[in-house]
C-alpha cells in the first residue's frame, strides 16, 4: 500500500507543475535540515559527494591528457609547418620552370621576328636602291628630251 501511494505521488508530481514546485521548495529547505540531524545520513551524503568529486588522481589524469593533447597539437602544427614549407618549395620550383620556359619562348619569338625584320629591311634597302636607279634613268632619258622641247619652245617664241 505504501508503494502504491508513492507511485501515485510521483504521478501527481509529474502531471502537476504547481505541486512539483511546492514539493521542490519543501525538499530543498526543510528536508536537508532534517536529514543532516542524523549522523548516518550525513556520512552517507558525504560518501556520495566524495564518490562524485574529482580526486587528485583524476586531476592528474586530466592534466596528463591535456599535456598529451598539447603535445599532439604541437606535433601536428610542426607537420603542417613542414608541409607548408614543402609546398612552397614545390611552387617556387614550378614558378622557376615556367619563367625559364617563358624566357625561352620570348627569345625564340624575338629571334624569329628579328630575322624577319632584318629580311624586310634588306628588301626595303633593295627597293630604295632600285627606285634611286629608276629616278636616275628617268632623268637621264628625259633631260635630253626636255632640253629639245625647251629649245623648240624658245625657238617658237623668239622666231615666229
- The pLDDT score that the predictor gives to residue 43 is 80
- The pLDDT score that the predictor gives to residue 84 is 95
116 to 48, 104, 119, 120, 121: CA distances (angstroms): 99, 18, 5, 6, 9
First and final CA of the chain: distance in angstroms? 169
In-domain check, residue 25 = yes
In-domain check, residue 38 = yes
108/101 Cα distance (integer angstroms): 11
Query: CB–CB of 34/40 below 8 Å?
Result: no
- The pLDDT score that the predictor gives to residue 62 is 85
With cell 624569329, the residue in question is 112
- The pLDDT score that the predictor gives to residue 1 is 65
In-domain check, residue 22 = yes
In-domain check, residue 30 = yes
Task: Compute φ and ψ for 24, nearest 5 degrees.
Answer: -65, -40
Q: Which of 111, 112, 114 is nearest to 122 (CA)?
A: 114
In-domain check, residue 69 = no
Task: Identify the domain containing residue 47 by its residue range.
Answer: 1-53
Q: How many domains does the chain have?
A: 1
Distance of CA 104 to the CA centre of its chain: 30
Q: The pTM is what?
A: 0.43
In-domain check, residue 29 = yes
Residue stretches of the chain with pLDDT short of 50: none
In-domain check, residue 34 = yes
- The pLDDT score that the predictor gives to residue 74 is 95
Helix, strand or coil for residue 49? helix
Render pLDDT for 45-80 as a digit per residue (tens, 0 to 9): 777 777 767 677 878 888 889 999 999 999 999 999
Amino acid at each position: 500500500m505504501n508503494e502504491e501511494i508513492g507511485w501515485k505521488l510521483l504521478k501527481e508530481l509529474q502531471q502537476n507543475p504547481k505541486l512539483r514546485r511546492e514539493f521542490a521548495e519543501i525538499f530543498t529547505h526543510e528536508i536537508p535540515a532534517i536529514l543532516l540531524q542524523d549522523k548516518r545520513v550525513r556520512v552517507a551524503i558525504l560518501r556520495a559527494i566524495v564518490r562524485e568529486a574529482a580526486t587528485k588522481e583524476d586531476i592528474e589524469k586530466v592534466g596528463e591528457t591535456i599535456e598529451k593533447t598539447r603535445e599532439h597539437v604541437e606535433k601536428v602544427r610542426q607537420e603542417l609547418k613542414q608541409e607548408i614549407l614543402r609546398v612552397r618549395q614545390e611552387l617556387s620550383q614550378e614558378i622557376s620552370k615556367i619563367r625559364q620556359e617563358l624566357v625561352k619562348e620570348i627569345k625564340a619569338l624575338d629571334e624569329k621576328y628579328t630575322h624577319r625584320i632584318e629580311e624586310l629591311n634588306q628588301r626595303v634597302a633593295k627597293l630604295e636602291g632600285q627606285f634611286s636607279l629608276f629616278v636616275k634613268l628617268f632623268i637621264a632619258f628625259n633631260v635630253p628630251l626636255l632640253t629639245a622641247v625647251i629649245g623648240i619652245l624658245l625657238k617658237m617664241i623668239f622666231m615666229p
